Chain A
Amino acid sequence: MTAVEVELTYEHGRWRARGAGLDIVHAELRGIESQLEARLATPAGPCEVRLGFDMGALPRWLHQYHGHYCNYTLHVPPRGGGA
């Protein structure tokens, strides 16, 4: 099992995932996840992608109310294997 960390932001109406040598942009989060799966899946084994949202991308005035948006883990199955 390999694990990579990716920074998630929302800029100019699109999601953006950066890290582990990747820089992916898509209007929908599902689109980001599909691209991550396509790029990180290997026959060697499953991969765990930890997505952490960068609060710096939200307006500064909002931060005083809440300091966190979302983090989650995407489980990428091995290429050619089952989920």
Chain B
Amino acid sequence: MSTNRRWTSGMLATEDWWSVWIGLALFFAGLLALAGVDLVGWAARPKPWEWTDVTGAFAWSKLFSAAGAGYAGWHPLLSWLVTYAVFTTLFAFGAHHQRLDVKRFAFGFTVLYVVTWLTWIAGNELHLTIVNATVDGRNRYRDAALSWGLQLGEGAPFLLALLAGLALGNLTRRFAARLAEAAKPEWYIKTAIVFLGVNLGAQTIQASGFALDLILAGAAATFVAYLFFWPIVYTAARRLFGFPRDAAAVLASGISVCGVSAAIATAGAIRAKPVIPVTISMVVVIFAMLELIVLPGAYTALFPDQPIVNGAALGMTVKTDGADAAAGALLDELMIARNLQLTGQHWQAGWILSAALLTKIWIDVFIGVWAFLLAIVWIRNVESKSGAVSISPMEIWFRFPKFVLGYFVAWLGYLAIAVAWPALGPKLASGTAVVQGPMRTMLFMLTFVAMGAITDFSKLKGMGKVALLYGLALVVVIAPIAYAVAYLFHRGLMPPLAP
């Protein structure tokens, strides 16, 4: 049984809450650097490498090493194994409390971890990443004497992880099914988003006005998008496709608000049969993957001079947190590499991702309020049962995305320490750098692989009208309006240059 009755319900039983616990546990472990204790520096991180150099004289240390200076003496494989052991233990502990099969989870997690690292290391090869541009008088592409290069920047590992995950999910379906217990992209990305709170904290310190602009513009854009998307898609579903009211409402929320979570929240609010959100959610998940594949590259190619607009538009267009954050991370890296090619200027990493994420987080935060209001309207006006049935405001809390709490705690915690004790700034930055650096990136990589592994494009067969409406709404309504709204609120905002 998993029924939400009290405000504490689910605190030890849902992926959402476990992303908060794991994310904050590692954040607080990083904070111990303030007391001179490095509890997170063991985390492995890959290094940029060139294949003739590595094959000529192989050494593990050319591929990856421990991230913390205090662990520089560790053998890279020890660092890699400790990273595996810590993350497997933390997530398996969470899986146990969620009543998942821990053995199956550990097996699946191990496979995903290995695939993640193989693609992460491969994706750091210089022919894939390094950009031919001169920054501050130095051209690393020429320094490396490369004869060719794809110049994808740090987006290369993400693309490889995505391809590997999709290959797992679509070419080895039986094997992918064995990974299902651990293929939880939403859990991994929500944990990574908690880490990103640290990033937002650091960004707020570096450029408080810009960070505030980003937060407020994201909120405003979200409200405008809500007002346009939902009525248009609902009307199209009813009038053009002849969907019944409940299916049209669930579909409109799934397409226009925040994907699967909105579809489930809306279905619950209007007390639709659960089969409706389940069907629609399958379509949402597959389309989110298509958006992740297409949009970062398309925005980079079409609008290379609109980094923050692109990020915010992505946040309003791509449904599911995992796909949005993953697409935001990919867009961030592709845009930085492209701008480097075009202008020789190196934008600071993370701002475009923050734009994508903040817009999405506002959408997520208000889904509970939206569903609560919809429930009241539905019961009073559609079912005409206002006297017999009532909905508690606690429904807003039950539907609140809890990982957002972790994100805010990490953000405000970092900010509070940096503001209250400015002298501790360097220690704070170095202590949390591993958490919001390699640990966060590894969880993003895991998300890409896991998301690919659970995306089976063959499931679109037989979805008929639902898939057609989803595709049409996405191309004709959501993407153009999201871009226009993002442009309206974010135009002129540019990421600071990297120091």
- Flag if A53 contacts B387 (CB, 8 Å): no
A40-83: CB near B (< 8 Å → 1, else 0) gives 00000000000011111111011111111111111100000001
Complex Cα distance A55/B186, Å? 17
Chain B residues with CB under 8 A of A7: 1, 3
Cβ of A70 and Cβ of B271 under 8 Å apart?
yes
Distance of B229 from chain A, by nearest CB (Å): 19
B131: chain A residues at CB < 8 Å are none
Which residues of A lie under 8 Å from residue B176 when comparing CB positions? none
Contact B398 A68 (CB under 8 A): yes
Measured CB to CB, the closest approach of chain B to A82, in angstroms, equals 10
B261 touches A73 (CB 8 A): no
Write the B24-50 contact mask toward A (1 if CB under 8 angstroms, else 0): 000000000000000000000000000
CB contacts (< 8 Å) of B304 on chain A: these are none
Interface status of B184 (Cβ within 8 A of chain A): yes
Q: Which of B265, B281, B387 contacts A75 (CB 8 A)?
A: B387
- A1-18 CB mask vs B (1 if < 8 Å, else 0) is 000010100100101000
Contact B260 A66 (CB under 8 A): yes
Residues of A with C-beta under 8 A to B394: 71
B261 adjacent to A65 (CB under 8 Å): yes
| Residues of B close to A83: CB separation below 8 A | 387-388
Question: With the chains together, A10 CA to B273 CA distance in Å?
Answer: 8
Distance in angstroms from B68 CB to nearest chain A CB is: 31
The complex places the Cα of A34 from the Cα of B362 at a distance, in Å, of: 39
- Chain B: CB-nearest residue to A7: B3
Q: Give the chain A neighbours of B268 by CB distance below 8 A.
A: 53, 68-70
Cβ of B220 within 8 Å of any chain A Cβ, yes or no, is no
Q: How many residues of B contact A (CB 8 A)?
A: 42
Tell me, yes or no, whether A29 is within 8 Å of chain B by CB: yes
Most chain A beta-carbon neighbours within 10 Å: one of B271, B275, B387: B271
Known contacts A13-B275, A64-B186, A70-B271: A75-B2 contact under CB 8 Å: no
Q: Could you tell me how many residues of chain A have their Cβ less than 8 Å away from some Cβ of chain B?
A: 31
The interface residues of chain A lying within 8 Å CB-to-CB of B265 are 66, 68
Q: For chain B, what secondary structure do more than half of its interface residues adopt (helix, strand, loop), or is it mixed?
A: helix
A 6-41 contacts with B by CB, 8 A: 7, 10, 13, 15, 29, 33
Question: Which residues of A are found within 8 Å of B4, using beta-carbon distances?
Answer: 52, 55, 67-68, 71
Are B3 and A52 in contact (CB-based, < 8 A)? yes
B274 and A57 contact, CB distance less than 8 A: yes
| Residue in A53, A55, A72 whose CB lies within 8 Å of B391 | A72
Q: How far is the CB of A11 from chain B (nearest CB, A)?
A: 10
B399 within 8 A of A: yes
The interface residues of chain B lying within 8 Å CB-to-CB of A33 are 388-389
Is the beta-carbon distance between B390 and A67 smaller than 8 angstroms? no
- Is B15's beta carbon under 8 Å from chain A? yes
Do residues B275 and A10 form an inter-chain contact, with CB atoms below 8 A? yes
**In the bound complex, do residue B388 and residue A74 qualify as a contact, i.e. CB atoms below 8 Å apart?**
yes
B16 close to chain A: CB less than 8 A = yes
Whether the pair B320, A65 counts as a contact (CB closer than 8 A) is yes
Distance between Cα atoms of A5 and B16 in the complex (Å): 26
Complex contact B2–A54 (CB within 8 A): yes
Whole-angstrom distance between the alpha carbons of A53 and B1 in the complex?
Answer: 9
Cross-chain contact of A71 among B186, B259, B260, B398 (Cβ < 8 A): B398
Q: Kindly provide the distance from the CB of A16 to the nearest chain B CB, expressed in whole angstroms.
A: 12
CA distance A64 to B105 in the complex (A): 14
- From B261, B271, B273, B281, contact of A72 by CB (8 A): B271
Per-residue contact bits, chain B 245-285, to A (CB 8 Å; 1 contact, 0 not): 00000000000000111001101110101110110010000
Contacts of B388 in A (CB 8 A): 33, 74-75, 83
Chain B neighbourhood of A62, CB < 8 A: 260, 264, 277-278, 281
> Which residue from chain A places its CB closest to the CB of B319 in the assembled complex?
A65
Does B461 reach chain A (CB closer than 8 Å)?
no
Q: Residue A67 contacts which of B10, B185, B271 (CB distance < 8 angstroms)?
A: B10
Q: Is B387 a contact partner of A66 (Cβ separation < 8 A)? A: no
Q: How far is the CA of A65 from the CA of B257 in the complex (A)?
A: 13
Chain A residues with Cβ under 8 A from B454's Cβ? Answer: 61
- Which B residues are in CB contact (< 8 Å) with A57? 274
The answer to whether A54 touches B1, judged by C-beta atoms less than 8 angstroms apart, is yes
Q: Is B5 part of the binding interface, using a Cβ–Cβ cutoff of 8 Å?
A: yes
CB-based contact A69/B389 at 8 Å: no
Nearest 10 Cβ contacts at the A-B interface:
A70-B268, A65-B260, A64-B186, A66-B261, A66-B264, A69-B268, A68-B398, A52-B3, A67-B14, A55-B2
Could you list which residues of chain A lie within 8 angstroms of chain B, going by C-beta atoms? Answer: 5, 7, 10, 13, 15, 29, 33, 52-59, 61-75, 83
Can you list 17 A-B pairs with a CB-CB distance of less than 8 A? A52-B4, A56-B1, A62-B278, A63-B2, A63-B14, A65-B281, A66-B264, A67-B4, A68-B395, A69-B264, A70-B268, A71-B395, A72-B271, A73-B391, A73-B392, A75-B389, A83-B387
List 4 extra interface pairs beyond A61-B180, A70-B269, CB under 8 A.
A52-B4, A59-B278, A64-B15, A71-B391
